[in-house]
Structure 1
Amino acid sequence: MAMMDPAASPTSWRCSGKRRGCQEPTWRAAESYSSTLGPQVAALGSAVGVDLFPWQRAVMNDWMAVTEDFRYVHRRCGLEVPRQNGKTALVETRILAGVAAMGETILYTAHDYSTVTKLFDRLKEFFGERAGDPDAQHPELNALVRSVRKGTGKEAIFFKNGSAVYLSTRTKSAKRGYTVDVVIYDEAQALTDEHQKAIASTATTSRRPQFIFLGTPPGPEYPNSTFADMRAKARAGGATEALSWSEWSADEVGDVSDRERWWRLNPTMGYLIDESTILDLRNMFKEDLSFAQECLGYWLPSGRAVERVIPEAAWEAARREPPEPEPADVECLAVKFSPDGSAGAVAAAVRRADGSVFAEIPGDWAVFDATEGIPAAASWLAARGRTAAQIVVDGKAHSVDMADRLRTARVPGPCIVEPAPGDVAAACSMLVAGIAEGTVAHGGQPGLDAVVALAEKRPIGAAGGFGFRCEGDPAAEVACEALALAAWAARTTKRNPRRKARVG
């Protein structure tokens, strides 16, 4: 096995000044090979406008190394590279080659549903919206398509050669029963053994199985990350048969403002990203540790963990099928925006006649891009404004704008609630207590389990109040707080627009 370690081999840190980021990983492990399909795969990507950078081509060569009988040399492939550096281009190219040229069936999974939908949209740019799509950008690729399935949580593209690509978030039972050749685990820092067990069996009958893991270093909220275990085995030099691993990583948090380190640890610097991009991310993260993990590839020492605000056992016990609507139901909605204004989430809750509450994140409104999604979110909420008892709007970045849009859409004034910090703290506390006591139930939609698993306490005020914080995925906390605010409104509101007013 060929290995590169910066401590033993300083040449692995080569960097061409401030024009290009470091193309060689700071650490690499790979079985030796004499043949690879990497150049052909890269050429296919270039033909449709996805040009891989030198470091990406080197990684692809590892992934696509083959034996004499065209089995993969590396059945498990790991890549850790800081955010914004182009992991998605590798995924797109690997999927293109797999389904179009190699007849493979591929399962792509991610932690966040918004990541899944972004890649699905990108694949539709390559293959078209449907079979025989006259507007397809690449008619030669569209000619391969048999059908495109667009249902929420069921996204897939099927091809005439028998191959397919399925896209899914991860749950403990995700995709059992499917048979695939290649599994791509994006956002692998959030991958747990339970998720992997639910997915890995899908490729057990393939003649040429391959599992690809891509991510950033796991935060303290992922104490049982499979990604970290995989890295540890690669670095230990044991149990690494058929494994390739490449990473761009810092060995300490260090000086996070040192721009030389930014260039050394981000291989796409000078190509896709520049100093201003990293500076924006530096300003976004409040803690040096978070920035070091996401943008410099710093790995936490093993053993750090975080205590879940909502215990897994209580959360699982509160899972229910969505109830059938009843006349006495009181429905409330909530929209929550992140402090930096980049993300939002919508939640819904219903109070039943017995006082219990059922809360969920509607499928189309898991964490969304707030820079583009506000008009659609406002329209969705306004359409339900006449039957909802309350619509809670929170988050300084966009709450005023959203409330104004709802009023302009003639949502009744008493329906719109802009909570004070104490209300947010009460909502989060009530959600935690309600889940524990069994008075609040949820539907467990794709992604919601993983979001709740991230939640830590975020102090609010000096009296012990708290909101939710998700250090490794700040956008995820908006879903937690939206859920809490919708459940709080459903439990506490005295307004019911469906109740007939008394006369006399």
Structure 2
Amino acid sequence: MSAATVTTEPTFSRVPAGDEATGQDCIDLATGYGVPLDEWQADIIRGVLRETDGGWSASQAGLVVSRQNGKGQILIALELFGLFELGEQILHTAHSVRTSSDAFRRLWNVIQSHPDLAGRVRRHSQMIGAEYVELDSGARISFSTRSASVGRGLSLDRLIVDEAEDLPAAEVGALAPTVFSRPRAQSIYFGTAPGVTHDAAAFGAMRATAHSGLNPRLAWWEWCADWGHDVDDQAMWVRVNPAVAAGRIPLQAIIDDRAILPVEQFQAERLSMWPPTTARHVPIITESAWEKLRADSPGLDVSPDAFGVDMSHSLHISVVACWMVDDRAHVEELWAGTDVASAVEWIVAAATDTCEVVIDDYSPAAQLIPELKPRRIELRRTNARDMAKGCLLFETRMNAGTLTHRGQQSLTNAVMGAQKRPIGDAGGWGWDRRDSSVAIHQVVAATLALLGATWAGDKPTGEAFFL
């Protein structure tokens, strides 16, 4: 690759428009305190902190780039500015203890190296796995590894998800509610392309959303080689490693990695090759059989027996109703969108005294539960065992012809795009995506609605409780 063709531009980006003055202030602060930034890193900071109408243009931001290019340097700049200028409450999470502790150490070294910053620290902890810094202003940043419970009960201005290529659904469900109540909240997901051992469904769904443009408030940058590209093409090595293109990291570092890393690891960690789903997908029901289950709606004057609510990894919400009519169960999606507050208000207005609202505890939709709590909604919270029961019930009714639907494309696409994943060791299963580009939250919501409607007519199996 000649010098004339070297570029640090991303291979793909999509960034909402907005004013970049705050982003430039962040860059100036960081560089003033000895945090150097390449121009491509500065461009990302400007994009993340773009503002429109008094708020962040992007509610979510994501970055995919190979390891050792400088993702952490961007985060240090954002965290310094968030703490010392914006007075934010920040949670920095990572998959591994080593990564989260290293992120703390790097930020702490900057603070300790400058007396005017260190003098504003009220308290801090360097305990591994529980590091934090709190300022005299009340601004605070905590560092933690991720789990199914991390973040519960917190209210954050900025959520940082490092190593986002390994982000299971349960962790998304725990983290998503943390940025619900703050008016200028923002979530940042940084990672590389996933390897074969990573749970990348959430990060992959976000990437698919970025490429499709479905979420106008998602900012996204990536430096990814196309799958199948020659792994020994050194011009591509430079193209997808902006730190090499910028001259900060020598090409020899990648040559050395190529000599020692297994090819699959090299593809993910050095070329950010996003693997495709190659297995042939067999839907749980054929399109023709699903079409035969199509039926008219019971009508707006008939109250549903239950609502099911689910949220995708890209934070799209589906509310599906289920009616029990004679020997059949009828499901329809009645509300869809991304605004949590609007979803809550719609559910409150639509749910009757006898209509259960069912939400899975480990779904990102669990963030609606605290908002529904004071509204006296008849709510049932489910677990993995309940989901296995619901999926078996859904499949049994489909096969028996006693589950009907109105032919909505969103629900049809979800059913056709879903596949089974095992739950437990007794043959139970739950819904899973055939690949990261598929949204299945509609069929999950339909399953929860069916489960709730079945429970409503069979109270001995469990009493619903009021929050």
- TM bracket, shorter-chain basis: 0.5 to 0.7
Measure how far apart 1:100 and its partner are.
0.5
Match of 1:73 in 2: 57
CA contact (8 A) 1:250 1:265 kept: yes
Q: Is 1:256 the equivalent of 2:241?
A: no
Match of 1:54 in 2: 39
Match of 2:463 in 1: none
Change beyond 3 A, Cα 1:304–1:66:
farther
Match of 2:24 in 1: 39
Q: Is 1:117 the equivalent of 2:104?
A: no
Q: 2:83 aligns with which of 95, 99, 113?
A: 99
The one-letter code of the counterpart of 1:60 is I
Q: Structure 1 unaligned runs (5+)?
A: 1-14, 129-136, 306-435, 437-504
Measure how far apart 1:21 and its partner are.
5.3
Change beyond 3 A, Cα 1:304–1:294:
farther
Percent identity (aligned) = 32
Change beyond 3 A, Cα 1:289–1:210:
same
Whole-Å separation in 1 of the counterparts to 2:30 and 2:228: 36
Change beyond 3 A, Cα 1:174–1:19:
farther
Q: Secondary structure at the match of 1:74?
A: coil
Match of 2:121 in 1: 145
The one-letter code of the counterpart of 2:213 is G
Q: What is the CA deviation profile of residues 242-295 of structure 1, one whole-angstrom value per residue up to 9, with x for unaligned ones? A: 111010111123222221111111111143211111112212312x23211211
CA contact (8 A) 1:21 1:267 kept: no
Measure how far apart 1:19 and its partner are.
9.0
Whole-Å separation in 2 of the counterparts to 1:170 and 1:249: 26
The number of residue pairs the alignment matches comes to: 280
CA contact (8 A) 1:99 1:164 kept: yes
Match of 1:220 in 2: 196
Match of 2:177 in 1: 201
| RMSD over equivalenced CA pairs, Å | 2.0
Match of 1:289 in 2: 264
Measure how far apart 1:37 and its partner are.
1.4
Whole-Å separation in 2 of the counterparts to 1:145 and 1:227: 34
Q: 2:187 aligns with which of 211, 214, 233?
A: 211
Match of 1:298 in 2: 273
The one-letter code of the counterpart of 2:27 is A
Residues 14-413 of structure 1: pairs in structure 2 closer than 5 A: 17-18=2-3, 22-69=7-54, 71-128=55-112, 137-238=113-214, 240-269=215-244, 270-286=246-262, 288-302=263-277
The one-letter code of the counterpart of 2:175 is I
Q: Secondary structure at the match of 1:256?
A: coil
Whole-Å separation in 2 of the counterparts to 1:302 and 1:165: 37
Measure how far apart 1:66 and its partner are.
0.7
Change beyond 3 A, Cα 1:303–1:178:
farther
Whole-Å separation in 2 of the counterparts to 1:271 and 1:121: 26
Change beyond 3 A, Cα 1:223–1:179:
closer
What's the TM-score, normalizing by structure 2? 0.57
CA contact (8 A) 2:34 2:110 kept: no
Q: Secondary structure at the match of 2:242?
A: coil
CA contact (8 A) 1:35 1:67 kept: no
Q: What is the CA deviation profile of residues 398-428 of structure 1, one whole-angstrom value per residue up to 9, with x for unaligned ones? A: xxxxxxxxxxxxxxxxxxxxxxxxxxxxxxx
Measure how far apart 1:237 and its partner are.
2.0
The one-letter code of the counterpart of 2:273 is Y
Whole-Å separation in 2 of the counterparts to 1:20 and 1:145: 46
Q: What is the CA deviation profile of residues 220-253 of structure 1, one whole-angstrom value per residue up to 9, with x for unaligned ones? A: 2235521111001111222x12111010111123
Change beyond 3 A, Cα 1:21–1:52:
farther
The one-letter code of the counterpart of 1:63 is V
CA contact (8 A) 1:20 1:267 kept: no
